[in-house]
Amino acid sequence: MDANLATEPAGGPAQLVGLPATELAARVRSGELSAVDVVRAHLAHIASVEARVGAFRVVRTEAALAEAAAVDAHPDRARLPLAGVPVAVKDNVAVAGETLTDGSRAHTPAPQPTDHPVVARLRAAGAVVVGITRVPELSLYAATDGPGTVSRNPWDTARSPAGSSGGSAAAVASGGVPLAHGNDGMGSLRLPAAACGLVTLKPGRGVVPAGLGADDWSGMAENGALATTVADLAVAHAVLADGVPAEPLDGDSTPLTVAVSTRSPVPGVRLDAEGRAALEAVVAGLRELGHTVVRKDPPVPLGVALGTIARWLGGADADAELLGLDRHAMEPRSRTHARLGRLARRAGLVRPAASDGFRERMTSWFTGSADARDRPVDLLLTPVVTGPPLAARPWHERSFLANVSANARWAPWTSAWNSAGLPALVLPAGRRAGGLPTAVQFVGPPGAETRLLWLAAELERQQPWRRHAPVFDPAGPADAPARPTAPG
């Protein structure tokens, strides 16, 4: 770390670290703050917490400060939606000048010559990439660890921040960055958000450039962002989607009809009591806000689940092939994963086109039919996970079967929406008795991203959440109140 990080910017780093991205950007745009001071303060905070969290594979100290200086000198700084905002990027997309490992030690990658499109869009909006975050090998699993490292949940370091965007979630929840990039092929944004008390949006198919691995896990994976406020998420999503700042979130007050379902796609797996209480509290909140809530289960046939697993397995084989990995040097669980994926690909079991029928069926489910009993609904509310996050441990030392079974028992409610290519948003919904966050998921039909963000902002105003893990909260110690969210 740079010795200069000990130098506090005017006003002290405590007044900068922990502020929402929207507020930081507004103050940099106006000239009240410099991007260099903002980035230096966040780098200092990362230096103070990283050893306990393990969020980053690389911290780009000198490069980030140089990029921040370029933002300060930018002729259109006053128009940059993320001016001077420190961001972290998940280690499975290209950042120019940095290596891309996708969590694997089975190859020796060269520095990337250019930015991935989503990184380019973040930088064009004025964001500064302060680091590359950790992922499990090939971004396959619901915990983030690898040889010599176990990433930890800032809310409880005995727990995992989940995966595969676990490093990004840990970076945001510990205050290291206000925004982080991630992506989601079977829940890899939504599971870390649920584990770490954050808000995230998995966009629908084609809304944000994917370009992940060989073929986006046969079209299932999407890029997105993790944030502590809906306003921050909305701006990040707008930048990733098309570079246009987000519209106001409260521009529509039309009551919605929300279906709620707790039925698990995995037989025998159920939501725990604390998770159910959190979901029912959200149901009550929706009704208080004037929305209609109905009990209605979505049609998720077994064939969809099996097809999703085949694409997940096949994605591991295709990505290992693309990266030129030495299969013998891969982790045993990943080696088995990729071997089964190769068998699935050769047997013709990876059939992306088969998901089109499920997408059409779900779209019809939202829009309803002529049958009066099949009423239309605007959004679907479900759980995200069955209980607390998995333990922070070296899961890479355990078998493929142990990893897959643990993942399936904990997180059965996310992958169907990757198969259908539908947008899905996760937001905090309270705290467990031990202090860990709870969360819920909203799913919408194609094009529902704005609707999801609007409803999330409404719920945030009604039931505000603590934005950072208490032990790591820049606003104060565990018993201090949460820092207020700036108007979005």
pLDDT at 218: 95
Domain membership flag for residue 317: no
264 noted as active-site residue: no
* pLDDT tens profile 409-435: 999 999 999 999 999 999 999 999 999
Considering the domain boundaries, does residue 70 fall inside one? yes
Is 90 tagged catalytic?
yes
Sign of CA dihedral 110, 111, 117, 118: positive
User: Do the domain assignments include residue 331?
Assistant: no
Domain assignment of residue 118, yes or no: yes
Domain membership flag for residue 5: no
Residue carrying structure tokens 């140089």: 66
Which residue in 34, 160, 164, 168 is the catalytic one?
164
Domain membership flag for residue 341: no
Query: What's 366's domain CATH number?
Result: 3.90.1300.10
What's this model's pTM, rounded to 2 decimal places? 0.94
pLDDT at 10: 41
Dihedral (CA of 8, 11, 17, 21) sign? negative
CB of 273 closer than 8 Å to CB of 381: no
Give yes or no: 188 in active site.
Answer: yes
**Tally of domains within the chain:** 1
Residue ranges in the chain whose pLDDT is less than 50: 1-11, 245-250, 478-488
Question: What pLDDT was estimated at residue 466?
Answer: 97
Whole-number pLDDT of residue 393: 98
C-alpha dist (Å) from residue 47 to 6, 61, 184: 10, 10, 28
- Domain assignment of residue 415, given as a range: 14-303+351-472
Handedness of CA 324, 326, 329, 333 (dihedral sign): positive
**Annotated catalytic residue: which of 160, 188, 218, 334?**
188
The pLDDT, as a whole number, for residue 252 is 61
* Confidence (pLDDT) at 481: 41
Which residue has 């047997």 as its token pair?
347
DSSP letter at 54 equals -
Residue 109: its pLDDT value, please?
A: 80
Token representation of residue 418: 């990757």
Catalytic residue among 90, 160, 165, 334: 90
How far apart are alpha carbons 7 and 10 in whole angstroms? 10
> Residue 442's closest CA among 193, 196, 206?
193
Is 346 part of any domain? no
Residue 335 lies in a domain: no
